[in-house]
A and B are shown apart, each in its own frame.
Chain A
Amino acid sequence: MKFLVNPNKFNKVSNYLFKPVLVLSIILFSLGLLFSFYLSPDDYQQGSTVRIMYIHVPSAWLALLTYAIMTIYSIAALAFRIPFGFIINTAVAPIGAVFTLVCIISGSLWGKPMWGTWWVWDARLTSVAILFIVYLIVIFINLSFENRVIKEKVVAIFILVGSVNLPIVKFSVDWWNTLHQTATISKLSKPSIDPSMMTPLIIMTFAFMMIGIAIAILRIKTEIISRKLNLS
């Protein structure tokens, strides 16, 4: 597992991984979209609109997962002096931002027909909006400093401060009254979703994950090269 902390090893392993991951993401997306649109049933209350879930929920999960990965790498980079953590932070922040944006846009499109509104300022929606802004600030800090050593430390510290938002996003629907419904899938209880609707959800989650990894590999390799050439 050294390739997760060592740029040279990462380069070698990712050369083998990139194509399979890309092919897998294409297969999973084709299969997932087929299931989402044709092979899954209408919801008993929401009808066909429930299919927005198969985009909305995977992107929300991956927005949080990407931030969690950045948080772990920031701790590793600052505490254990692992510079690869800084590379990861720079490379994956835009990917997480896009996942968050997809989650917000698909959520709005779902909210309008179901709730009767595009957007409300309840705790869940607001905390996800903050997550998006935090991602944007991480990207902007990455673009703004001239001194790379100072920049990457500021980025890592800011990511750690922003990670406070993660439990708030997750538990907002339990802690406060929100228009957004509570979690369907949690480890403690049986999921309140039918297996026929769970299947496309899981496939789409892995599809999002694979496309995320594929783009991350490209971005991380670019970042490694640009550091070697001292471009940034």
Chain B
Amino acid sequence: MSLRFQRLLLILLTLVIILSAVLLILYNTRENVSYFYTPSEIEKSEIIIDKVMRIGGFVENDSFNKISSSSFIFKITDEKASILVTFKGILPDLFREGQGAVIEGAFSDSNIFNATNVFAKHDENYMPASIKEDLKDTGYWNKKYK
């Protein structure tokens, strides 16, 4: 084995070891690395009142209600479980029913989540606005695109 090859092997081996160490750390702390919990993860675990956390999912269809001009109530769902959320403040532009959202706040009791911050989440699909109109006109608009 030539010296060059030995050095290359040593470098690659070191990289693999460092990478696996970092990935092991990240894998074992994945609950803290994840930015939010999904509603079904929350349903499975015990709800701690007043603990600040983030929930992510979709705004459930026909669940959005305006109580006053800056006070809203809606449900966040991942199609398996859903959570009732109340929020006072300004909603981001992209926030609408069927759209992804991440909610920051705490449970005020076991089934109402009081949001302090609402972030809209958008998906990886990009499409010209005119195509949406065309698809709607011809009846091919897939509701899945939201």
Question: Residues on A close to B: CB < 8 A?
Answer: 40-47, 50, 53, 75, 78-81, 113-117, 120-123, 160-161, 163-164, 167-168, 175-179, 181-184, 192-194, 196-197
The CA-CA distance from A197 to B119 in the complex, in Å, is 25
B14 to A, closest residue via Cβ = A160
The CA-CA distance from A115 to B102 in the complex, in Å, is 9
Could you tell me the dominant secondary structure of chain B's interface residues?
A: mixed
Q: A80-B4, A113-B93 are in contact. Are A176 and B11 (CB under 8 A)?
A: no
The CA-CA distance from A114 to B99 in the complex, in Å, is 12
* Residue in contact with B15 in the complex, picked from A114, A160, A168, CB distance below 8 Å: A160
* Residue in contact with B126 in the complex, picked from A168, A183, A193, CB distance below 8 Å: A193
A182 to B, closest residue via Cβ = B124
Task: Please tell me the size bucket of the interface on B.
Answer: 35 or more
Contacts of A123 in B (CB 8 A): 33-35
Nearest chain B CB to A4's CB is how many angstroms away? 18
Given A43-B127, A179-B102, A181-B121, 9 extra CB contacts under 8 A: A44-B127, A44-B129, A45-B122, A45-B146, A79-B11, A114-B93, A116-B117, A116-B119, A121-B35
B36 to A, closest residue via Cβ = A177
A111 to B, closest residue via Cβ = B119
Q: A114-B94, A123-B34 are in contact. Are A181 and B128 (CB under 8 A)?
A: no
The CA-CA distance from A2 to B130 in the complex, in Å, is 50
B66 at the interface (CB under 8 A from A): no
B18 at the interface (CB under 8 A from A): yes
B105 at the interface (CB under 8 A from A): no
Contact A179 B34 (CB under 8 A): no
Contact B121 A179 (CB under 8 A): yes
Contact A46 B120 (CB under 8 A): no
Question: Residues on B close to A: CB < 8 A?
Answer: 4, 7-8, 11-12, 14-15, 18-19, 22, 26, 30, 33-38, 56, 90-95, 99, 102, 117-132, 145-146
Nearest chain B CB to A220's CB is how many angstroms away? 23
The CA-CA distance from A120 to B102 in the complex, in Å, is 11
The CA-CA distance from A40 to B131 in the complex, in Å, is 13
Contact A115 B119 (CB under 8 A): yes
Contact A120 B128 (CB under 8 A): no
A53 to B, closest residue via Cβ = B126
Contact B128 A116 (CB under 8 A): no
Contacts of B4 in A (CB 8 A): 79-81
Contact A163 B15 (CB under 8 A): yes
Contacts of A176 in B (CB 8 A): 30, 33-35
A166 to B, closest residue via Cβ = B19
Nearest chain A CB to B64's CB is how many angstroms away? 16
Can you report 28 A-B residue pairs in the complex whose CB atoms are below 8 A from each other? A41-B128, A43-B126, A44-B127, A44-B129, A45-B122, A46-B122, A75-B12, A79-B11, A80-B7, A114-B93, A115-B92, A115-B94, A115-B121, A116-B117, A116-B120, A117-B119, A123-B34, A160-B11, A164-B15, A164-B19, A164-B22, A175-B26, A176-B30, A179-B35, A179-B102, A181-B121, A182-B124, A194-B131
B118 to A, closest residue via Cβ = A116
Contact A120 B130 (CB under 8 A): no
